[in-house]
Amino acid sequence: MLALLAALLVALPPGCGTSARDGTPDHYVFFRRDHARVADTSFLQHPQLVGAQLTYTWRELEPTPDQYAFDGIRERLTFLTAHGKRLFLQLQDVSFSETMVTPDYLRADTAYHGGIARKYEAGPDGVARFDGWVARRWDPAVRARYVRLLAALAHEFDGRIEGVVLAETSIGFDDPAQVPSGYTPDVYAAGVRDLLTAARAAFQQSCVVLYANFMPGEALPDQDRGFLRGVHTHAAAIGAGVGGPDVLPYRPFQRSHSLALIAQRPPGVLAAMAVQDGNLGDRDRRTGRRITVAELTAYAVTPLRLDYLFWGTEEPYFTAEVLPFLRTLPPR
């Protein structure tokens, strides 16, 4: 009986990943915030493209406390469903520019300690520079507000959308003078796990995927404090999926972090990754040869065993290479 209960607790939602369980990924187009492109005929009429992944920021979905703006999601979902396509949401609470992605009320209310923090990443020269904004994921008060957003989304869209992607875990505070209050790598890792638990509890039918690519405070394999491994282990324990925003098999840092852990994940754990800008322009450092769409797809199947592959629209690769190659695959 205990074994049965454990299996039920970690099982994937019934509507999640059912079509992608044949050893090959379902192919989606990652339109980012260019939502109008779901009407492109090259997408709608492509037999191998199962659906679209669209990005929405916390800021636009909850402009004021507990007042949710889901009309855009409703419109795109209705359109895609009418055309036999599915929808994956990517929820963004982190940016890599001056763009603010959290609601203004978080910054205005002292209960949320500013609500958001500036990130600083060290470059090759060792100098830490501003690298965007991240919601205070380690802050229980901020996290509680995000959990309410997840619950509201699930109340309306659970089972109607294919899944939800939580934004990447990789952040940095490499400038010691700019470390935000309350933050430590350990507290951050615990907050990430709590958010994933809340998302999985909210969405009982749609997929939940966390882009667990890197974690601050460690660098695998030499400096392993268990942060990234712990997040992947936790995802497997609660029936959530894992993934990342870049498929870069030539990069040693990616191979020792997200790519390695995704390839090593236990059977039955969902995995999804995005082919983002720069991925198809990447070159083998040994030969100088650029990766091909066929090679990247093969890598997604073996060793990664991906269930979902989200193709970015970077040109000239998308039109000249991605769409024609996908047409050579058997229709879904």
CATH of the domain at 76: 3.20.20.80
pLDDT value at 2 more than 50? no
User: Distance (Å, rounded) from C-alpha 297 to C-alpha 248?
Assistant: 11
Instruction: For residue 39, give the DSSP letter.
Output: G
Say what the pLDDT of residue 23 is. Answer: 78
Per the structure, the count of domains in the chain is 1
Q: Are 259 and 220 in contact (CB under 8 A)?
A: no
At position 172, the amino acid (one-letter code) is G
Say what the pLDDT of residue 14 is. Answer: 60
Q: Tens digit of pLDDT for each residue in 288-307?
A: 999 999 999 999 999 999 99
User: Distance (Å, rounded) from C-alpha 161 to C-alpha 273?
Assistant: 17
pLDDT value at 18 more than 70? no
User: Distance (Å, rounded) from C-alpha 198 to C-alpha 206?
Assistant: 14
> Which range marks the domain in which residue 309 is found?
22-327
Q: How confident is the model at residue 331 (pLDDT cuts 50, 70, 90)?
A: confident
Average pLDDT, integer, range 209-232: 97
Q: Tens digit of pLDDT for each residue in 262-292?
A: 999 999 999 999 999 999 999 999 999 999 9
Say what the pLDDT of residue 11 is. Answer: 61
Q: How confident is the model at residue 330 (pLDDT cuts 50, 70, 90)?
A: confident
Say what the pLDDT of residue 126 is. Answer: 87
Q: What are phi and psi of 257, to 5 degrees?
A: -115, -105
Say what the pLDDT of residue 15 is. Answer: 60
pLDDT value at 33 more than 50? yes
Say what the pLDDT of residue 21 is. Answer: 64
Mean pLDDT score across all residues of the chain: 93
pLDDT value at 76 more than 70? yes
Which position has the token pair 């003078």? 177
**DSSP 3-state of 161:** coil
Say what the pLDDT of residue 6 is. Answer: 40
User: Distance (Å, rounded) from C-alpha 144 to C-alpha 325?
Assistant: 44
Q: How many CB atoms lie within 10 A of CB 47?
A: 11
The H or E element containing residue 189 is: helix 185-202
Q: Is residue 182 part of a domain?
A: yes
Q: Is residue 5 part of a domain?
A: no
Q: Is residue 284 part of a domain?
A: yes
User: Distance (Å, rounded) from C-alpha 255 to C-alpha 19?
Assistant: 27
pLDDT value at 240 more than 90? yes
Average pLDDT, integer, range 234-242: 97
pLDDT value at 4 more than 70? no
pLDDT value at 129 more than 50? yes
The H or E element containing residue 208 is: strand 207-210
Q: Are 133 and 162 in contact (CB under 8 A)?
A: no
Contacts of residue 273, defined as CB under 8 A and 6 or more positions apart, other chains included, come to 243, 244, 245, 246, 247, 262, 300, 304, 306, 308, 309, 310
Q: Is residue 16 part of a domain?
A: no
Q: Is residue 332 part of a domain?
A: no
Q: Tens digit of pLDDT for each residue in 95-106?
A: 999 999 999 999
User: Distance (Å, rounded) from C-alpha 27 to C-alpha 325?
Assistant: 12
Q: Is residue 149 part of a domain?
A: yes
Say what the pLDDT of residue 1 is. Answer: 32
Q: Are 311 and 30 in contact (CB under 8 A)?
A: yes
Percent of the chain with pLDDT over 90: 91
Contacts of residue 73, defined as CB under 8 A and 6 or more positions apart, other chains included, come to 54, 56, 87, 89, 157, 161
Q: Are 326 and 48 in contact (CB under 8 A)?
A: yes
Q: Is residue 10 part of a domain?
A: no
Q: Is residue 38 part of a domain?
A: yes
